Structure 1
């Protein structure tokens, strides 16, 4: 665009054409904004003609998760109660991408308030995985991942309170980054006390990019990161995002010698055999042999924190407000969320959860003294049927429907940076993700290693075998 080989209008029209062709199959966008996108593209094109710098994201079309507030654009959070909610202000990250010249394509589908790692909610049809539309793309940033995988823009915004950027990135063959806690500020999400359901997850919520490449994720993070007084947890960026990605891609030898701890099950998680095989092979052949990292199997040593994670979510939820919503219209809410709200949570549940969190943070810190990164599978399974919250068995073992995301939320509890990148594909062609967790605030190490892995074993050329619907089908 800067060289005038293409205009923002041409790019936006091409993506909107693609949306019209394939999104009826996917349900990635719950509130598309094509007219707004075209108007913004024309303004950016005029700016380019006048020699005005369009910004680092000038003319780049992207989707915005429906948990993130967008001024003047419906933001439902996947909830019937907010079906007509139109915010009066943008989320901080929305402010930043628009100021950087991005073009909003619309809002992408999510589970209700993000309380499930899928694209299921009572308001819109289930989002589907572009690699196989019978399957789930994961979530809760389901629409953002499905959109990017299907070519509906090169990047999208997601949020990650326990897995919701990394898990859908893994199931859709993409890059998903959960930066260190506070690197990317959050507001009004998690912090607007007037909005029950929207106002939870404060100490574990992160916002991050879902993209096709590490370089694109770094570019988006360079725009998103940096403190804001509206988020009391926000911290200075202090990260050369773009430089770290470039160094890893152009000089992958710089990661040689990194000490890598590898855990294929964290000591307690059932894992699909294909996922285990793909990740183990990728770490051995790419990270160890090609990149020269020192790989050592580890067992982290903390017990499964799933119960504590659930209690921390509820401790940061507006239970009074959400229980009132359920009392009025439980039939309009996700059944699993209603059941969660009606559990007899006690003060001891919440304080026990905090003690478990502290023990996990301390154990992780001791592990990371001897390792630069911890690598795990991103999810315990590849994509599963789109109408499920998760499989009830993994490797033949009965599990809860959230067990498949068990690799993800430890890094939310500790606040450490984590990224998911494609590790390979199953025998049936489904993506498998590999998660890299860095030391406290070591975002550059995570980005650099991810970029080096991408350089050694590129993935962005692989596209899902989507067959577009006809114009007549799309109009219906």
Structure 2
């Protein structure tokens, strides 16, 4: 559906991009039937996934916008690791793309302005007005359960504080403590899930997370987190770290979320900042992301990539 609406709006298709190969499920280590997909910032790193090729194409300057699908973070994670923006709409705004109802189509783009153009073309929604003042925001590095890399957490928190200093948000406390959604996500995606009632543990997790998020969005406009708990890994995978730990909850709850660039780790790899809003508050979410972009601009293209260690070098021209 999203591709057809974009074509009718005048978008020009350039090609198709890489997704995980057979047997890799949603876990994109950059390996596909056409070989490894390189991260435009660091060619030895994964671009994230599963919409790996879309994010790499946008970050490398091949296209200003690419489509993806997000069932656990698959537009937000590659956007974060490739230093661009990725948006998962509120569940139900577009038809779900899998039987579990978790996967939503969404865009990856260089700028929030281009995300808004996608929203206008695909969802028929005009660009939202700027919020009248700083948005109330709560920052959490781990949502109460994730094992977030301290450097990733520091980069994300510094970005959130920069946004507060720029007047885009007003950071408030306390943070939020949620339950790890892994067992609910796996239960929903299980091939045998159809017609099987969830376990008591899964129902308890969902009820507690719904309660905590309802309380949070009663006092705040935005929840801000790192997009992933880890930095981009190599093609062999992240080991025991779940790159989806901070994203897949919002596929289960249906909340809209966007990833924007937060900054770089010392090794030059990008870190994403995830903004989450209440269900159906997509207009506010993207207006907030645009405020953040204006208050803290980011590069619209990856610099000349680095093959091994060290940070990126400036792109000539």
Distance change (3 Å), C-alpha of 1:310 and 1:426 = same
Quick one: distance in 2 between partners of 1:315 and 1:442? Answer: 32
The question of 1:302 aligning with 2:178 is answered yes
The match for 2:13 among 93, 104, 113 is 104
Q: How far does residue 356 in structure 1 lie from its aligned partner after superposition? A: 2.7
The match for 2:165 among 261, 265, 289 is 289
Structure-2 residue corresponding to 1:260: 137
The answer as to whether partners of 1:129 and 1:172 remain within 8 angstroms in 2 is yes
Structure-2 residue corresponding to 1:340: none
Structure-2 residue corresponding to 1:140: 50
The answer as to whether partners of 2:168 and 2:295 remain within 8 angstroms in 1 is no
Structure-2 residue corresponding to 1:363: 212
SS of residue matched to 1:94: helix
Quick one: distance in 2 between partners of 1:133 and 1:97? Answer: 30
The answer as to whether partners of 1:141 and 1:168 remain within 8 angstroms in 2 is yes
The question of 1:279 aligning with 2:189 is answered no
The question of 1:384 aligning with 2:294 is answered no
Q: How far does residue 438 in structure 1 lie from its aligned partner after superposition? A: 0.3
The answer as to whether partners of 2:134 and 2:168 remain within 8 angstroms in 1 is yes
The match for 1:444 among 283, 294, 301 is 283
Quick one: distance in 2 between partners of 1:100 and 1:435? Answer: 28
Structure-1 residue corresponding to 2:78: 168
Q: How far does residue 130 in structure 1 lie from its aligned partner after superposition? A: 0.7
The question of 1:404 aligning with 2:253 is answered no
The answer as to whether partners of 2:59 and 2:302 remain within 8 angstroms in 1 is yes
Structure-1 residue corresponding to 2:224: 375
The match for 2:4 among 77, 89, 95 is 95
Distance change (3 Å), C-alpha of 1:131 and 1:292 = closer
TM-score calculated relative to the size of structure 2: 0.88
The question of 1:414 aligning with 2:253 is answered yes
Alignment of 1:64-75 (within 5 A): none
Aligned residues: 305
Structure-2 residue corresponding to 1:79: none
| Structure 1 alignment gaps of length 5 or more | 1-91, 191-199, 227-238, 249-253, 319-345, 393-399, 468-476
Alpha-carbon deviations, 1:35-84, whole Å to 9, x = none? xxxxxxxxxxxxxxxxxxxxxxxxxxxxxxxxxxxxxxxxxxxxxxxxxx
CA RMSD of aligned residues (A): 2.4
The answer as to whether partners of 1:137 and 1:386 remain within 8 angstroms in 2 is no
Q: How far does residue 361 in structure 1 lie from its aligned partner after superposition? A: 2.1
Distance change (3 Å), C-alpha of 1:373 and 1:255 = farther
SS of residue matched to 1:463: coil
Q: How far does residue 359 in structure 1 lie from its aligned partner after superposition? A: 3.2
Deviates more, 1:172-181 or 1:454-463: 454-463
Quick one: distance in 2 between partners of 1:110 and 1:316? Answer: 25
Structure-2 residue corresponding to 1:457: 296
Alpha-carbon deviations, 1:343-367, whole Å to 9, x = none? xxx9466664355334322321122
The answer as to whether partners of 1:312 and 1:353 remain within 8 angstroms in 2 is no
TM-score calculated relative to the size of structure 1: 0.60
Alpha-carbon deviations, 1:192-249, whole Å to 9, x = none? xxxxxxxx33x211111100000001101211116xxxxxxxxxxxx43x2x2xx44x
SS of residue matched to 2:190: helix
Structure-1 residue corresponding to 2:313: none
Structure-2 residue corresponding to 1:221: 119
Distance change (3 Å), C-alpha of 1:112 and 1:316 = farther
The match for 2:105 among 187, 207, 210 is 207
The answer as to whether partners of 1:128 and 1:386 remain within 8 angstroms in 2 is no
Distance change (3 Å), C-alpha of 1:120 and 1:422 = closer
Structure of higher RCO (CA pairs closer than 8 Å, 6+ residues apart)? 2
Structure-2 residue corresponding to 1:184: 94
Q: How far does residue 387 in structure 1 lie from its aligned partner after superposition? A: 2.8
The answer as to whether partners of 1:109 and 1:142 remain within 8 angstroms in 2 is yes
The answer as to whether partners of 2:69 and 2:75 remain within 8 angstroms in 1 is yes
